[in-house]
Every structure is written in structure tokens, then in C-alpha cells.
Amino acid sequence: MKKEKKLEKVTPKNLPGFKELLPSKQIVFENIVNSMKHVYEKYGFFPLDTPILEHSEILLAKAGGETEKQIYRFTKGKTDMTMRFDLTVPVAKYVAMNYNSLAFPFKRYQIGKVYRGERAQRGRYREFYQADIDVIGNGSLNYVYDAEITSIIYEIFKGLGLFDFTIRINNRKILSGFFSILSLSDKCDDIMRIIDKISKIGLEKTKNELAILGLSISQIESILEFVCFDGTIEEKLNSTNAYLNMDKEFDIGINELKQVLYYIDAFGVPCKNYTVDFSIARGLDYYTGTIYETTVNTYPEIGSVCSGGRYDNLAECYCDRKLPGVGISIGITRLFDVLESMENSIFEKDFPVDVLIIPMNVELFRKAIDISRLIQAGGINTQVYFETVKLGKGLKYANKLKAPFVVIIGEDELLQDKIRLKRLSDGYQTTVNSNEAIKIINNNP
Amino acid sequence: MKKEKKLEKVTPKNLPGFKELLPSKQIVFENIVNSMKHVYEKYGFFPLDTPILEHSEILLAKAGGETEKQIYRFTKGKTDMTMRFDLTVPVAKYVAMNYNSLAFPFKRYQIGKVYRGERAQRGRYREFYQADIDVIGNGSLNYVYDAEITSIIYEIFKGLGLFDFTIRINNRKILSGFFSILSLSDKCDDIMRIIDKISKIGLEKTKNELAILGLSISQIESILEFVCFDGTIEEKLNSTNAYLNMDKEFDIGINELKQVLYYIDAFGVPCKNYTVDFSIARGLDYYTGTIYETTVNTYPEIGSVCSGGRYDNLAECYCDRKLPGVGISIGITRLFDVLESMENSIFEKDFPVDVLIIPMNVELFRKAIDISRLIQAGGINTQVYFETVKLGKGLKYANKLKAPFVVIIGEDELLQDKIRLKRLSDGYQTTVNSNEAIKIINNNP
């Protein structure tokens, strides 16, 4: 065909901070997403999908200065638009918009891309996946849902082949109540922001920052003693007894936390996978009750890979109704990097086909199609290698695909109505009919 | 907790042309996507995911004026960025970038959102899902893959509960060769653009437009006689015999088409679901061989819901390698509207949980959690209704969720270690243990 013009080549490249995976890694990524979906659905969560672009006034209704600097915002015609930077603001909008059509408690999950124009650096992405779940109540929401969320976090991580992780639980009311007891209510937000960094900056720097904020030495010591108390969950709870009946919010927070812990036990989350941690504060977020962080114990340096908490009023920017919610967000793109560097078992299923079918010449293509359809009917993913080349090249292609098996379609075997099945891991070969082949392929560990 | 400022409400709304589904519809949408993925994976296609934002020079390397007007393009800092408007350009970039790491033929599927700033109107979206598959060869690609694509289209539609559809197949070389025989090579693109609209604008208007282009009456008649020839596939092929051996490209096109048809038969695609149609031209696309369109016969007015074809050189904008490809694209968002208006059977599974568990009071919450875990272990999606309200409210919630069953946890039944299982469709009730409940729920049609 004639060409309209000679094309100039453009060097193919991606925007910095925008991750793209090679095929075998992409398969693992899909497996991770499917494994998460499976858990969310088991607990009866609805899937949700919201636009990536929204009116800027919607997305930025609650955002502060930090968010505004990092967003992708532009106008087209007269419309001021922003790419979503999380999945919490969109669900708040969605619930306010569709209030009359939803059943409450509304349980939804959403797995999708979000955009933040941060300085691109290792482990920081500008486009990345978040997997969020939230339970949203109408007027009120029992604290047993906060325990259920913990159970879901546990199942998610277990499903990904992670076992050595800790879900850290706290309650914001305990912290703000405690600061009130120390007559520091006016500095509450700043203190939360500082203690939130303890594990990153260490005790000495934390002390310095609290001193700069104007806290007395005894206030600083009380705070650090409280938030850094080490021990079992029971011991930690006991350590709070000294402050009971001094501040209403503090007492409510302790009660909420105790309720959550009571039900976490009922959900069967093993003790070794959760704890109470009074030092987590989620400083920049808007939580008003339970807060969660989850750390992979062999990778403490990467911080929390699953965080969340409870809002008294999720959709307060969009409507007057009281819609309390509790939820978590998992940064899957970063979690993927962690799992990859751990050589996690989920990286073992990274091939698209179970068997590559290689016809030995073009006359055997139709026969290869027949065999392929028979094997597919056994629930097996197949590819036929429709190339007129030597067997060696077909085997090389199978190796590149990481296909566990090849089926070779040759004239000799066909005369006996058989095919040659070869396992690539150990070179084992056998001449069988297609039903026998299906059995062998399906029984391969 | 104290609030920093009183929030002003923002009325929640979406951008025009950006679709968002209610929960029970979203479940169906997910089912559609999963059904498609299942077919793609059966044929050994790799999943692929590429960024939604790309450098503008990458996405617009080949684009013409029409595309440029419709895109979402903006700058951030010094970077000129565009939101992808299809999934073909990104895969071309990907293959050029990762050539050395890929196994060829490279079979990939991608399901994702694309963006076009068209005038929003019924059935036209600015954000919508495309589901693409492509097979990309290194240097050459056997035409049997074009037949395989037809088989995949067939299985996709069948999987969605659609049976009355027709895959229309043509070959661009036949059309351009035929125009060359009529000494109309210089007007080839314009003629394709006009005949591509025949089914929309009718014969008379087509004649007029061709006349305006400067074609003689006899040329117009030859073209219309050729492209509108009605009959079986065999009769249509026979009608081309008169033009054989007059133009090399025409002959090649006929041969390619015959090969594709030969293998479509081997793949077992029923005759009633495919045909040859010399009037499809894909006027605005860059195909160089096979072209496909798929029409739902009960909805001819919506046009093609699955189109595609073969490129000689997919990545010519980005590299010098010859990488022929064949693929299709399904506009799922629009297809969803069609399936919905047909009351397609896929819309029947639109609930997130199989069973809602209702504990009769707060003391029974822990027991409800235990029962829920037992039933989940039977592969059943459950929700527990953690509200301290009357049974009627729980049943109303179950109805809103469209849950087929409820399990009622009451003191009386628990004394016998049993639960009350109720089917909501007919009110059938029974008092059973949890294993018996699992059996009944799993056996429900």
C-alpha cells in the first residue's frame, strides 16, 4: 500500500515515575490484584469504578496545600479538571451522589490508578495503583466493621504469601484525648505530625521537634512514655489505665479500641499479626477513630504498605448527611516492588500458557488447531506456534514464554492418533492422546 | 475532634461523558471483563498495562488532525503530556521499547480506559473502556493468526450470551487493488472513506459522493456492484474471479482472505457468525490487510461493536523493525449499553453476596462471625449485618443487596447448634447446621 508520507521516528519512552511491566511481571501483578479481589468479594464488597478525571472543585474540596502542589490539573475548554490522587475522595463523592440508590452499610472495593506529580524517585511513582476498601454507614457504623477490616488485611497478606507482617492499630481519640489531658489540645495536629515520624527520625529528633513546638520536658517525656510503651496488647492497654476518667474523648477512644480488639479475636486473626501501637497517628489524614498501619517485618524501612482508618463523616464536603466510614488503602505498585525483592512465591506463576503446541509443518496447522481446542476444553490455556520453522525455534519460544509443556504435532504420531507431550523443566517426554495429555498437564504441580 | 474550619459543600457531580455505574451494574461490568479475560487467556495472551498518560510526541507520532482535536493534552512543568486515546499506539510503543525482552509472536491483551474529548452525546463517551488483543510478529506473521482472532471474537460474544452477531471480514488489499484496476489508485483513501459509510448513508448518497470525487458513472457502478455483491462466501469469492491476474495487490489480498477463511473453518466458528463483506473499509484506520467489523444483528443501528485488522508495520513510528500485527478492539462501555438494553442474561448475576448473615442481637455478633467464616470456607461470599435492629430491617438490606439467601442467627436455633436459612426468592426456610447450609446455597440454580 502506498504511504501518505515518510514517517519520522520518535524514540519510544515513558514519562518518569510511570511504571510499565514486562509480560511475565504483569501476569504476577494481575495475580496479586485477583488475589485481593477474591478476599474483598468473599466479604461481600461491591466493586466500584469511578472516573480518573473529575471536576477540580470536587477532588479538591477538602485538599490542602500539599495536595494541590502535587496534582495533575488542567483545563479543556472552560472545564477545570484534575486526575484523581486517591480513591477516598471519589468514593465520598459517589456516596453523596448516589445516596438514595445505595444499601447501607455500603461496602465497596476499588482497585485503580491514581496520580501524584511528586518528584519521581526510587519507590515513588506518579502513576500507581491503589486497592481500597471502605464500609460506609448511614448515620452510624458499628466498630465491629473496624475489626473486619483487620481480618481482611490479614487475609490479603496471607493470600500474597506474606506471613511476617504486623497490623498496627491505634485510635485517634486516644491520642487527642491524651494531649488534652496534658493541656496540649491546641497543638494536637502538630504533635501528631511529629510523633507519626518517630520510627523514621528516631527519639532524639522527635524530642527536639516537640521542644521546638514549645512543649515542656515533662510533657515530652509523658508523651514518649505513652506512645512508645512496649509490651503485649494487654500490657499496653493497662498502661493507659492511669489516664482513664480524665478526658471523655480519651475514654471513648479506649473503649472503641477494646471493642475492635474483642472482635479481631473473633475473626481469628493470629496474635502475631496484629498489635496496638500508640505511636501511629496518620498525621496528614483526616481520621477520627481507629487507625491502621501495616508493616512487613523483614522490610521495616519501607514503612506502612497498608494504611487506613475511620472517618466520622466521609462525605462532609458534599452533603449534610452523617456517613461514617472505615477503610484501608494498599499501594499495590509499591507492594509489588517489595514482593519482587523478597522473591515471593507469587512470582512463580508468571507464564501465560500452560502448553505451547508446535506443528512440525504448515500442513499440520489445522490438526494443531484441533488439538489446541481439545486441550483448551480441558481448562488449559494454550498457544499454537504458527511458524514454519525448525522445532528448536519453537522450543526456544516456549522457553521464553515459560510454558511448562509443549505438544509436538508430527506426522508419525498422528498416524497413531497421538501427540508428543514434553515437559520443559526436566525434558520428560511421552506419546499420548489428547485426553491423557490433559490429565498430565492438569496434574503438574 | 475539633475541626479546622467549617467546610463549604460542593455539589457532587461527574464530568459529562464520564460514566459511573451503580453497584449492581458494576458487578455485571466486571463479569463482562472477566469473561473476556478468560477467553484471551485461554488462547495464551499476556495481559498488558500501559500508562494512561504519555509524552504527547509518543501518542501523536502518527495521529492526524481529527485525533489532535479530540485529545486531552496538557503540560506540567516543561512536560507535554496526553491521555491515551486508544490502546494500539501504546502497544506499538511498548513493543518498540521492549523488543529485546519479548517473545515473538507477542500475543497481548489489554483492557483499559481511553480518553476522547468528543462532544458528549448518547452512546458517546469521553472516558470509556477498550478491550484490545493483538498478535505481533517479528518480520512476518502467518495469516492463520487472523483466523484465530475471528475465533476469539466468536468466543467472546458467545461468552457474553450473544448469539445473533456477524463478524464481517474483508482485506484492504482487495479494495485498493480493485481501485487500482479501475485506475483509481490516487483516489483510494477517499473512496474507502466513502464506501465505509454505505450502510449509514445509503446507496444514493454514496453514488453522489463518489461522483463529486470525480468518478465516472461506470466506475461508480463497478465499485458498487463489487462491494455490495450479495450471496454466500463462496459466491462472493467467485464474483472476484473476473478481476484476477490484473493487479498483483488484488491477487495477494484474495489469497490472504482465502487462507484466513480456510483456518476460520478449522477453528470451528459457525458459518452463521461470519461472512465476507467487501464493503467494509475501516476508512480512518491504518490497516494493510485483513479487516474486521462485528455487528449485533438485532441492533444494526449501533454499527460495529468489535473492529480491527492487520498492520504491516505496527511500530513504524518508533523503530525500523518490521513488526506486522493483527488485532481487534472492543468498546466495552458501549457494548455494555447494548447488552443492558437487550436484557442480556449476563445481567442476572448482579449481587455481591450469596448470603447475608443477620445476628438477632449484639451478643450474637461473635457467633455470626464464626458462622460467616464457616460458610466462607465453603467458597461462598458472605456479609454479616452488624446492626442492632429488627429482623425486618436486615431483610430489607438483604433485598437491596439482592442476596439470594439470608442466615438468621437467633438464640433458639443456637441452643440446637443450628441456624435459620431463608431463600429470599420464594421465602423457603429451613433450620440446618452450617454444612447443610453450604450445600443448599451452592446448589441453588
Q: What percent of chain B has pLDDT over 90?
A: 83
**Least CB–CB distance from A14: residue in B51, B365, B384:** B51
| Contact predicate B187/B213, CB 8 Å | yes
Name the band, by pLDDT with cuts 50, 70 and 90, for residue A389. Answer: confident
**Least CB–CB distance from B383: residue in A18, A43, A113:** A43
Q: Is the pLDDT confidence value at B121 over 70?
A: no
Pick the residue from chain A with its C-alpha nearest to B260: A366
Starting at the edge strand found earlier in the chain, the sheet holding A274-276 runs A46-47, A106-115, A127-136, A325-331, A306-311, A290-296, A165-171, A274-276
Pick the residue from chain B with its C-alpha nearest to A104: B397
Which site among A54, A93, A144, A290 would you substitute to test the B interface, given the most B Cβ atoms closer than 10 Å to its Cβ? A144
Under an 8 A CB cutoff, do B61 and A7 touch? yes
pLDDT, one tens digit per residue, over A173-229 is 999 999 999 999 999 999 999 998 898 899 999 999 999 999 999 999 999 999 999
Q: Is the pLDDT confidence value at B268 over 50?
A: yes
- Find all residues with CB under 8 Å of B40, minimum gap 6, and list them: B47, B109, B133, B152
Q: Which residues on A lie below 8 Å from B381 (Cβ)?
A: 41-44
How many whole angstroms separate alpha carbon A144 and alpha carbon A137? 12
Q: Which residues on B lie below 8 Å from A352 (Cβ)?
A: 41, 44-47, 107
DSSP sequence for A262-284 = HHHHHTT--GGGEEE-TT---TT
Separation of CA B440 from chain center:
35
Name the band, by pLDDT with cuts 50, 70 and 90, for residue A301. Answer: confident
- Find all residues with CB under 8 Å of B356, minimum gap 6, and list them: A44, B382, B383, B384, B385, B394, B397, B398, B401, B403, B405, B406, B407
Which site among B140, B387, B405 would you substitute to test the A interface, given the most A Cβ atoms closer than 10 Å to its Cβ? B387
Looking at A179-193, A414-428, B115-129, B394-408, which range is the least confident one? B115-129
Residue in A404, A402, A370, A407 with CA at minimum distance from that of residue A385: A407
Q: Give mean pLDDT, residues A401-430.
A: 93
Residue B165, H or E segment? strand B165-171
**Which residues on neighbouring strands pair with residue B132, listed in sequence order?**
B110, B329
Q: Give mean pLDDT, residues A3-30.
A: 87
Q: Which residues on A lie below 8 Å from B127 (Cβ)?
A: 51-53
SS3 content of chain B, % helix, strand, coil (to 5): 45, 20, 35
| Contact predicate A201/A193, CB 8 Å | no
Q: Could you tell me where the beta strands, DSSP code E, fall in A87-126?
A: 106-115
Residue A188, H or E segment? helix A188-195
**Which residues on neighbouring strands pair with residue B404, listed in sequence order?**
none
- The overall average pLDDT reported for chain B is 93
| Sequence-ordered alpha helix ranges (H) in B282-342 | 332-341
Task: Give the pairing type, strands A429-432 and A419-423.
Answer: antiparallel
Handedness of CA A232, A238, A242, A243 (dihedral sign): positive
Q: Which residues on A lie below 8 Å from B104 (Cβ)?
A: 397
Q: What per-residue confidence (pLDDT) applies to A161?
A: 92
Q: Which amino acid is at A144?
A: V
Q: Is the pLDDT confidence value at A116 over 70?
A: yes
Name the band, by pLDDT with cuts 50, 70 and 90, for residue A303. Answer: confident
- Find all residues with CB under 8 Å of B330, minimum gap 6, and list them: B36, B130, B131, B132, B156, B305, B306
Q: Is the pLDDT confidence value at B64 over 80?
A: no
Q: What per-residue confidence (pLDDT) applies to A215?
A: 95
Under an 8 A CB cutoff, do A370 and B266 touch? yes
Q: Is the pLDDT confidence value at A284 over 80?
A: no
Q: Which residues on A lie below 8 Å from B316 (Cβ)?
A: 7
pLDDT, one tens digit per residue, over A34-63 is 999 999 999 999 999 999 999 999 999 887
Closest chain B C-alpha to A397 CA, distance in angstroms: 6
Q: Is the pLDDT confidence value at A5 over 60?
A: no
Q: Give mean pLDDT, residues A239-266.
A: 97
Q: Give mean pLDDT, residues A247-272.
A: 97
**Which residues on neighbouring strands pair with residue A170, listed in sequence order?**
A291
- Cell digits for A113? 490508578
- Find all residues with CB under 8 Å of A79, minimum gap 6, and list them: A55, B15
How many whole angstroms separate alpha carbon B304 and alpha carbon B170? 14
Which site among B11, B173, B321 would you substitute to test the A interface, given the most A Cβ atoms closer than 10 Å to its Cβ? B11
Pick the residue from chain B with its C-alpha nearest to A101: B22
- The overall average pLDDT reported for chain A is 93
Q: What per-residue confidence (pLDDT) applies to B65?
A: 62
Q: What per-residue confidence (pLDDT) applies to A8?
A: 77
CA dihedral B376, B382, B386, B388 (to 10 degrees): -110
DSSP sequence for B19-76 = ----HHHHHHHHHHHHHHHHHHHHTTPEE----SEEEHHHHTSS--HHHHHH--EEEE
CB burial string B385-409: b at 16+ within 10 A, e below: bbbeeeeeebbebbebbbbbbbbbb
ipTM score: 0.94
Name the band, by pLDDT with cuts 50, 70 and 90, for residue A414. Answer: confident
Under an 8 A CB cutoff, do A102 and B23 touch? yes
Under an 8 A CB cutoff, do A9 and B320 touch? yes
- Cell digits for A104? 447501607
Task: Taking each helix axis as running N to C, give the angle between helix A23-42 and helix A332-341, from 0 to 180 degrees, rounded to the nearest 10.
Answer: 120
Q: Give mean pLDDT, residues B146-173.
A: 96
Which site among A8, A45, A49 would you substitute to test the B interface, given the most B Cβ atoms closer than 10 Å to its Cβ? A49
Instruction: Tell me if residue A194 falls in helix, strand or coil.
Output: helix
Closest chain A C-alpha to B291 CA, distance in angstroms: 14
Under an 8 A CB cutoff, do B185 and A288 touch? no
SS in 3 state form for A29-97?
HHHHHHHHHHHHHHCCCEECCCCCEEEHHHHCCCCCHHHHHHCCEEEECCEEEEECCCCHHHHHHHHHH
Under an 8 A CB cutoff, do B101 and A7 touch? no
Under an 8 A CB cutoff, do A52 and B52 touch? yes
Under an 8 A CB cutoff, do B53 and A127 touch? yes
**Least CB–CB distance from A44: residue in B97, B115, B382:** B382
Residue in A388, A391, A385, A392 with CA at minimum distance from that of residue A371: A385
| Sequence-ordered alpha helix ranges (H) in B98-170 | 144-159
Residue B254, H or E segment? helix B248-266
Q: Which amino acid is at A127?
A: E
How many whole angstroms separate alpha carbon B150 and alpha carbon B143? 11
Q: Is the pLDDT confidence value at B7 over 70?
A: no
Task: Give the pairing type, strands B46-47 and A382-384.
Answer: unpaired
Name the band, by pLDDT with cuts 50, 70 and 90, for residue A1. Answer: very low
Under an 8 A CB cutoff, do A318 and B72 touch? no
Q: Is the pLDDT confidence value at A121 over 90?
A: no
| Contact predicate A281/A290, CB 8 Å | no
DSSP sequence for B171-234 = EHHHHHHHHHHTT-GGGHHHHHHHHTTHHHHHHHHHHHHHHHTT--HHHHHHHHHHHT--S-HH
pLDDT, one tens digit per residue, over A307-363 is 999 999 989 999 999 999 999 999 999 899 999 998 888 998 899 999 999 999 999
Q: What per-residue confidence (pLDDT) applies to A123?
A: 67
Closest chain B C-alpha to A424 CA, distance in angstroms: 17
DSSP B410: -
**Region label for B387, one of left (φ > 0), alpha (ψ between -120 and 50) or beta (otherwise):** beta
Pick the residue from chain B with its C-alpha nearest to A401: B103
Q: Which residues on B lie below 8 Å from A125 (Cβ)?
A: none
Name the band, by pLDDT with cuts 50, 70 and 90, for residue B70. Answer: confident
Under an 8 A CB cutoff, do B15 and A49 touch? no
How many whole angstroms separate alpha carbon A339 and alpha carbon A347? 8
Q: What percent of chain A has pLDDT over 70?
A: 96
Q: Which residues on B lie below 8 Å from A127 (Cβ)?
A: 51-53
Under an 8 A CB cutoff, do B317 and A10 touch? yes
**Which residues on neighbouring strands pair with residue A407, listed in sequence order?**
A357, A421
| Sequence-ordered alpha helix ranges (H) in B358-433 | 365-377, 391-401, 411-415
Q: What per-residue confidence (pLDDT) applies to A2?
A: 42
Q: Give mean pLDDT, residues B422-437.
A: 95
Pick the residue from chain A with its C-alpha nearest to B367: A266
**Least CB–CB distance from B317: residue in A9, A54, A102:** A9
Q: Is the pLDDT confidence value at B1 over 60?
A: no
Q: Which amino acid is at A63?
A: A
Q: What per-residue confidence (pLDDT) applies to B124?
A: 80
How many whole angstroms separate alpha carbon A171 and alpha carbon B76? 39
Q: Is the pLDDT confidence value at A122 over 70?
A: no
Pick the residue from chain B with its C-alpha nearest to A186: B2
Q: What per-residue confidence (pLDDT) applies to B120?
A: 60
Q: Is the pLDDT confidence value at B3 over 50?
A: no
Task: Give the pairing type, strands B79-83 and B53-55.
Answer: antiparallel
Q: Which residues on B lie below 8 Å from A101 (Cβ)?
A: 22
Starting at the edge strand found earlier in the chain, the sheet holding A79-83 runs A53-55, A79-83, A73-76
Pick the residue from chain A with its C-alpha nearest to B248: A1
Task: Quote the pTM value.
Answer: 0.94
Under an 8 A CB cutoff, do B266 and A97 touch? no
Under an 8 A CB cutoff, do A356 and B29 touch? no
Starting at the edge strand found earlier in the chain, the sheet holding B429-432 runs B382-384, B355-359, B405-409, B419-423, B429-432
- Cell digits for B79? 512536560
pLDDT, one tens digit per residue, over B238-264 is 999 999 999 999 999 999 999 999 999
**Least CB–CB distance from A381: residue in B42, B54, B268:** B42
Q: What per-residue confidence (pLDDT) applies to A134?
A: 97
Q: What per-residue confidence (pLDDT) applies to A109?
A: 98
Name the band, by pLDDT with cuts 50, 70 and 90, for residue B204. Answer: very high
Residue in B357, B356, B407, B362 with CA at minimum distance from that of residue B388: B362
Q: How many residue pairs bridge chain A and chain B with CB atoms within 8 Å of each other?
A: 256
**Least CB–CB distance from A103: residue in B9, B173, B400:** B400
Q: Give mean pLDDT, residues A122-127.
A: 82
Q: What percent of chain A has pLDDT over 90?
A: 83
Q: Which residues on B lie below 8 Å from A369 (Cβ)?
A: 144, 263, 266-267
Closest chain A C-alpha to B87 CA, distance in angstroms: 14
Q: What per-residue confidence (pLDDT) applies to A81?
A: 96
Closest chain B C-alpha to A384 CA, distance in angstroms: 8
Please report, for residues A45, A220, A269, B22, B180, the alpha-carbon distance to residue A36 in angstroms, rounded to integers and kept in the order given. 11, 41, 17, 21, 56
Q: Is the pLDDT confidence value at B2 over 60?
A: no
